[in-house]
Amino acid sequence: MLCELMIRNLAVIEQVRLRFAPGFSVLSGETGAGKSIIIDAVGLLLGQRMRADMVRAGAEQGQVEALFDLQQQPQLGQWLHDNGLADPDDGASLLLKRVLLPQGKSRVYINGTLATVGQLQQVTAPLLAIFGQHEQQQLQQVDSHLALLEAYGDCVAARQGYAECYARLRTLDGAIAELQQQCQQRQQRQELLDFQCRELEQARLQHGEYAALQQERLRLQHGERLSALCLGGFARLYGDPGALCETLGTLAGQLEALQTIEPGLVSPLQAVRDALYGLEDAAAQLRQLGEQISFDAEQQERVEERVALLQQLQRKYQCDEDGLLARQQQLQQEHQQLHDSDSRLEQLRQQRQQAAAELGRSGEELSQRRRQAARRLCQAVETELAALAMPQARFDVCFETLTEPQASGLERAEFYFSANPGQPLKPLAATASGGELSRVMLALRKAAPGVDQLPTLIFDEVDAGIGGRAATAVGRCLKAVARDRQVLCVTHLPQVAAFADQQYRIEKQVEQGQTRTAVDQLDRQGRIAELSRMLGGAQQDRHSSEHARTLLDRSQEES
């Protein structure tokens, strides 16, 4: 609820402070006194753009502040806390301030913290709304009619179910389109994959093969030299006459024969024998290797060719041996996926067919709920219009089936209206006059009070263009709307103002050549005087005052 509004240096307003209470409050005054400026100030708190000429002449800056009570809106309080904008001293209140600079710029403060206009819009959107004579926010925007109808008919769950089905269908459409595009490019890609897979398969890649081939290649390149070295070493150690092993064997025999004479020869004898055994073993290994190693030109050629092939593949695919094996697996998987794309596409099409059927069922359920809500809403609005002195008015919701399902459903909806008997129903936004549109808007608000949870509604001369019995009915309706929320109304009609719980008079004063606006909250006598002015204009007399007193008493008793 809006508790307090303070305005400084805005157009003709030097400084005013308004304290509001729950229920129905009216702002009245002469034309040009500054009532519209107060509405503009509230609009600035809603995040509306400011004009460069809004700052009062001679002032360095303008300022609009508002204090809200958030006791009935804990979710907004939580949002403020989560975004670091909560008042640490009082979480149940909200202080907004917008500072206006002459250059057309402004600064925004939420609970004393510098914020953005976007954050200001987020904060105030669930707090209040301004409704003008033409109800620009809803009635003249056809797209909003469906949302208003759904809110009235409690279609939220059905709309959410439809939205989920619609999103699923769009996802499948995207997957099908992507796969179809891939299929168009598949032939060229398939040919490349066929060649690469065949090339790598024919190479018969094995982990660790390249290192083994490099070692074998080196051995083959030096085969003759290695064989000669091994066999020559065998001959010198064991095979040739006088070889080292033969010499050591003779020495070992001689030492063995003399060890009984000299015990000290036991240790040298053992060392010679150990050396002899080791050399004999080394000679045997050299002989074996020498006989195994041979120069095979054909094998060397085969190894060279294999190494060259592997090096060529590594350069082509820009990876090492392990990378080639991984690339081969990747290509095989992609190759298989391309082969499976036809079956995958068919599978997606079947899933889409099922999703489309589900969307159709969900859409039909949503449409049925909408049409049921439309019948109830039309009856309720026509009943309220009759109470607003339009007994012959007709209100209808016309549905147009869409050629293709859309995110909003299977149809669009628009409010149609006829004010007088014999006149056909026509689109409300295009045919209703200002006064008729005002009363339709009030009828909707009265018939469907739960379409939003806004705690504060501000009506800017919503009663323009009407009078007499219709004005009284409008006042009565505004009073009824204000039973469960705060309603502020700018009006010129005494029949409307008389129903208010509180009334504020906006006056324009000229002092020392300067124009300023003053706002006074009226007591009973002040209200009678103001209603008398509204009834009789400049010619106020005892009769107009008595009429005003009677009008006020009757309206207050009725409400």
CA distance 253 to 237: 18
272 lies in some domain: no
189 lies in some domain: no
Total number of domains constituting the chain: 1
71 lies in some domain: yes
Check which CATH number belongs to the domain holding 71 and give it: 3.40.50.300
Whether residue 507 contacts residue 498, with contact meaning beta carbons closer than 8 Å, is answered with no
1 lies in some domain: yes
The angle at the Cα of 6, spanning 5 to 9, to the nearest 5 degrees, equals 140
Q: Which of 451, 471, 463 is nearest to 132 (CA)?
A: 463
- Burial letters 508-531, b for 16+ CB under 10 A, else e: beeeeeebbbbbeebeeeebbbbb
The pLDDT score that the predictor gives to residue 294 is: 62
14 lies in some domain: yes
pTM of the model: 0.62
Q: Could you tell me which residues come within 8 angstroms of residue 434 by beta carbon, excluding any fewer than 6 positions away?
A: 133, 134, 464, 465
40 lies in some domain: yes
Domain range for residue 42? 1-127+454-521
* Helix or strand holding residue 86 (H, E): none
CA distance 535 to 224: 129
513 lies in some domain: yes
514 lies in some domain: yes
Per-residue pLDDT of the chain (559 residues; tens, 9 = 90+): 999 999 998 888 888 999 999 999 999 888 777 788 888 899 888 888 888 778 888 788 889 999 998 888 888 888 888 888 876 556 678 899 999 887 778 899 988 889 888 888 888 888 888 876 544 455 667 777 888 888 888 888 899 999 999 999 999 999 988 888 776 666 667 667 777 777 777 777 778 777 777 777 777 666 667 777 777 888 888 878 888 888 888 888 888 888 878 888 888 888 888 888 888 898 888 888 777 766 666 776 777 778 787 888 888 888 887 888 888 788 777 767 666 667 778 889 999 999 999 999 999 999 999 999 999 999 999 998 888 878 888 999 999 999 999 999 999 999 999 988 888 899 887 776 666 776 787 888 888 877 767 888 888 767 766 777 778 888 888 898 888 889 999 888 999 999 999 999 998 887 766 777 888 999 999 999 889 888 875 556 677 888 888 888 888 887 6
